[in-house]
């Protein structure tokens, strides 16, 4: 058996190093390669790794989220799947990377760039024989239609508790696995009653399947039940539900021995301005925002925006645009057809709202699009925006709010958003104290975003969500189209050009995806 790279192959022009990038410079960051050692051998794998890196490819040592191409030699799709499952402990239906044959790799090396995937490059994975009444379900959330009519709430509630716990424990992989599992169940047009109903359903790892099985058999998931009862989960959840507090901070406070908001309030912990506001208005901010409140806030913002730019467009985005009746905040996107007119608008709007006594807290972030260098690694967008807390007069809401019949939505009005914490003595006491004050206004979190007209469709798509839908859109673009999508633009890496779009429909068309309206993006 050859211990060194196969000599003959080395002479293959595809595998020569002519015209290579300086070592370490990644030219094609949108592609992440994982080389399967099985049958390839470790020395050949090292050789190919080095070769690809010299040519500007990104090669990962471990299987991860950022891997887009799993390359193997002389293995079947089934063998590769089994191997990955063993190595990572995560069921491979969680990975959406393509399983490709070495031919894709060598041809790409020859071309000096990652080649578009063709059928002949893909390893075949045998699936259970399809039953006539089962339609295969697409693995990316952006390929599926997910309405608010969730037929599997019992299952998704449990999976979401596990996802939330993983997120609170900063375990991104598990967070994604449970979130994907929950999301795919939300997209099913039927109620799952037996494991066999899930035969053709992707994105369900072993752990998620175990949870589902337990619920189908016993009606409850012991792991989720234990979490809800656990002090750590309850505390982290409550701390992280404070505006301005992330999971790292929540965990730090927990490790420092803090357990309740009262303890936090009376502790010497140094709080940021955001966190101070978050704590001050906590009892209001955990109450769900109603659609009527969101509509009213949009109108207030619009009236103020129009003082400065009468033709500006002010749109409700986020969950409310997806048809939700309740949300944790109000997301508003502002633009003006004459590009450039919107510059500086956020400052004018916030100072006017402040003068009207509507702003309790604001953090204005100016547009930084032009200072922005690395397109790939950035998580957030670069629009001018304001993360704020509005002081909403209850009387104004009552005037416009008809008595609504409660729709089937996630949470009921006035019930704290992150529920399951009501048993904390401290919390109850504070809610009562706040209620006793009988103030005539409610604090509401509002995100205001200003987008230049040329980026508006991308901003609208990016701010409509859901989080997983956005994540999968970007992964889909990267993986299948060699395109980079964010809330500003879509860049075609093959043609090296930006693809303009005036509407969301055009963006879906650029991506070769069926158009999914906002109401069906509740992934």
Catalytic residue IDs: 329, 331, 447
Q: Report the residue from 331, 362, 470, 472 that binds Mn ion according to the rule CB under 5 A.
A: 331
Tell me: does residue 515 bind ligand CTP (CB under 6 A).
no
Cα angle, residue 90 at apex, residues 81 and 120 outer, rounded to 5°: 25
Judged by CB under 6 A, which stretch of 20-28, 304-312, 391-399, 464-472 contacts ligand CTP? 464-472
Binding ligand CTP (rule: CB under 6 A), the pick from 467, 497, 505, 512 is 467
Is 462 a residue that touches Mn ion (CB under 5 A)?
no
* Structure token pair of residue 398: 């009552």
Q: Which two tokens stand for residue 39?
A: 């049958």
Smallest gap, in angstroms, from Cβ of residue 320 to ligand CTP? Answer: 7
Q: Residue 215 in contact with residue 221, Cβ under 8 Å?
A: yes
Residue 347 as a binder of ligand CTP (CB under 6 A): the answer is no
108 backbone dihedrals φ, ψ, rounded to 5°: -65, -40
Among 5, 202, 327, 518, binds ligand CTP (CB under 6 A): 327
Contact 141, 475 (CB under 8 A): no
**Residues 6 or more apart from 439 whose CB is under 8 A from it?**
none
Instruction: Choose from Mn ion, ligand CTP, none: what does 94 bind? Cβ within 5-8 Å by kind.
Output: none
Cβ atoms of residues 482 and 29 within 8 Å: no
Residue closer to Mn ion, measured from CB, 71 or 330: 330
Q: Is 316:330 a contact under the CB 8 Å cutoff? A: yes
Label the pairing between strands 32-35 and 69-72.
Answer: parallel
521 forms bridges with which residues in the sheet? 146
Q: Which of 78, 87, 91, 103 is nearest to 139 (CA)?
A: 91
Applying the rule CB under 6 A, the residues between 376 and 435 that interact with ligand CTP are: 380-381
**486: partner contacted, choices ligand CTP, Mn ion, none (Cβ within 5-8 A by kind):** none
Q: 283 near 421, Cβ under 8 Å? A: no
CA distance 386 to 301: 12
∠ at Cα 392 (467, 367), nearest 5°?
50
Nearer to ligand CTP, 102 or 332 (CB): 332
Distance of closest approach, residue 324 Cβ to Mn ion, in angstroms: 9
> How far is it, in rounded angstroms, from Cα 85 to Cα 91?
5
Shortest distance, position 329 Cβ to Mn ion, whole Å: 4
Phi, psi of 326, deg, nearest 5: -135, 150
Cα 430 from chain centroid?
32
Q: What residue 487 binds from Mn ion, ligand CTP, none (CB within 5 to 8 A, per partner kind)?
A: ligand CTP
CA-based nearest residue to 318, from 303, 306, 308, 329: 329
Out of 179, 238, 487, 493, name the contact with ligand CTP by CB under 6 A: 487
Contact status, residue 110 vs residue 153, Cβ threshold 8 Å: no
Is the Cβ–Cβ distance between 228 and 246 less than 8 Å? no
The listed partner (Mn ion, ligand CTP, none) that binds 401, CB under 5 to 8 Å by sort, is none
Which residue, 139 or 319, is less far from ligand CTP as judged by CB? 319
Binder to ligand CTP among 328, 391, 478, 482 (CB under 6 A)? 328
Q: Does 329 bind Mn ion (CB under 5 A)?
A: yes
Q: Which does 160 bind (CB under 5 to 8 A by kind): Mn ion, ligand CTP, none?
A: none
Name the nearest CA neighbour of 250 among 266, 233, 267. Answer: 233
Shortest separation between residue 462's beta carbon and ligand CTP, angstroms = 5
| Residues contacting Mn ion: total by CB under 5 A | 6
> 80 to 99, contacts with ligand CTP by CB under 6 A?
none
Q: Is 447 in the site for Mn ion (CB under 5 A)?
A: yes
Q: How far is the CB of 331 from Mn ion (least distance, A)?
A: 4
Task: Return d(Cα 435, Cα 493) in angstroms, integer.
Answer: 55
518 binds ligand CTP (CB under 6 A): no
For residue 53, what is the enclosing H or E element?
helix 42-54
CA 442 to CA 288: how far, in whole Å?
A: 11
Task: Count CB neighbours of 64 within 10 A.
Answer: 14
Which residue's CB is nearer to ligand CTP, number 202 or number 327? 327
Rounded to 10 degrees, the C-alpha dihedral 442/447/453/456 comes to: -110
319 binds ligand CTP (CB under 6 A): yes
What's the closest the beta carbon of residue 417 comes to ligand CTP, in angstroms?
8
Find the helix packing angle between 467-481 and 456-464, rounded to 10°: 120
Q: Minimum distance between the CB of residue 494 and ligand CTP, rounded to whole angstroms?
A: 26
Question: Using CB under 6 A, which of the segments 45-53, 253-261, 392-400, 466-474 binds ligand CTP?
Answer: 466-474
CB of 506 to ligand CTP, least distance (A): 19
Q: Measured from the CB of residue 78, what is the shortest distance to Mn ion in angstroms?
A: 42
Q: What is the footprint of Mn ion within residues 52-81 (CB under 5 A)?
A: none
Q: Which one of the spans 47-55, 146-154, 292-300, 329-337 is the region binding Mn ion (CB under 5 A)?
A: 329-337
Residue nearest ligand CTP by beta-carbon distance: 465
> Would you tell me which residues interact with ligand CTP (CB under 6 A)?
318-319, 324, 327-329, 331, 380-381, 462-463, 465-467, 470, 487
> Would you tell me which residues interact with Mn ion (CB under 5 A)?
318-319, 327, 329, 331, 447
């Amino acid at each position: 058996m050859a211990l060194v790279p196969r000599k003959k192959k080395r002479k293959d022009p595809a595998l020569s190093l002519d015209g290579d990038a300086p070592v370490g410079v990644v030219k094609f960051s949108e592609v992440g390669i994982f080389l399967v050692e099985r049958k390839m051998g470790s020395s050949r794998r090292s050789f190919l790794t080095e070769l690809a890196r010299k040519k500007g490819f990104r090669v990962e040592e471990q299987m991860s989220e950022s891997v887009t191409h799993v390359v193997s030699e002389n293995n079947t799709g089934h063998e590769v799947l089994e191997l990955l499952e063993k190595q990572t402990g995560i069921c491979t239906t969680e990975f959406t990377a393509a399983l490709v044959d070495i031919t894709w790799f060598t041809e790409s090396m020859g071309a000096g760039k990652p080649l578009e995937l063709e059928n002949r490059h893909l390893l075949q994975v045998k699936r259970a024989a399809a039953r006539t009444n089962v339609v295969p379900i697409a693995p990316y959330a952006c390929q599926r239609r997910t309405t608010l009519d969730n037929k599997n709430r019992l299952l998704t509630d449990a999976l979401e508790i596990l996802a939330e716990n993983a997120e609170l424990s900063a375990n991104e992989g598990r967070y994604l696995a449970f979130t994907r599992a929950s999301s795919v169940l939300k997209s099913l047009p039927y109620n799952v009653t037996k494991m066999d109903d899930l035969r053709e359903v992707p994105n369900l790892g072993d752990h998620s399947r175990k949870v589902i099985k337990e619920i189908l058999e016993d009606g409850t998931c012991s792991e989720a039940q234990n979490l809800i009862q656990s002090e750590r989960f309850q505390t982290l959840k409550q701390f992280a539900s404070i505006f301005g507090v992330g999971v790292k901070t929540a965990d730090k406070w927990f490790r420092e021995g803090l357990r309740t908001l009262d303890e936090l309030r009376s502790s010497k912990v140094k709080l940021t301005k955001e966190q101070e506001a978050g704590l001050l208005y906590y009892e209001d901010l955990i109450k769900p925002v109603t659609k009527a409140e969101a509509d009213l806030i949009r109108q207030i913002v619009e009236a103020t925006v129009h003082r400065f730019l009468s033709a500006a467009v002010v749109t409700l985005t986020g969950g409310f645009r997806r048809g939700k009746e309740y949300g944790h905040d109000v997301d508003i996107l502002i633009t003006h057809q004459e590009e450039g007119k919107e510059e500086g608008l956020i400052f004018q709007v916030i100072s006017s709202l402040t003068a009207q006594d509507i702003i309790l807290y604001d953090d204005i972030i100016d547009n930084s699009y032009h200072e922005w260098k690395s397109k790939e690694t950035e998580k957030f967008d670069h629009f001018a925006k304001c993360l704020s807390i509005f002081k909403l007069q209850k009387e104004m809401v009552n005037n416009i709010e008809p008595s609504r019949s409660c729709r089937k939505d996630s949470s009921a009005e006035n019930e704290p958003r992150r529920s399951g914490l009501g048993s904390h003595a401290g919390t109850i006491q504070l809610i009562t104290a706040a209620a006793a004050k009988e103030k005539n206004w409610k604090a509401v979190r509002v995100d205001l975003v200003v987008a230049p007209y040329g980026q508006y469709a991308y901003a609208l798509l990016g701010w409509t969500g859901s989080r997983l839908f956005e994540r999968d859109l970007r992964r889909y673009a990267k993986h299948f189209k060699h395109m980079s999508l964010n809330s500003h633009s879509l860049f075609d890496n093959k043609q090296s050009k930006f693809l303009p779009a005036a509407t969301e429909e055009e963006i879906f068309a650029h991506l070769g995806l069926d158009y999914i309206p906002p109401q069906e993006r509740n992934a």
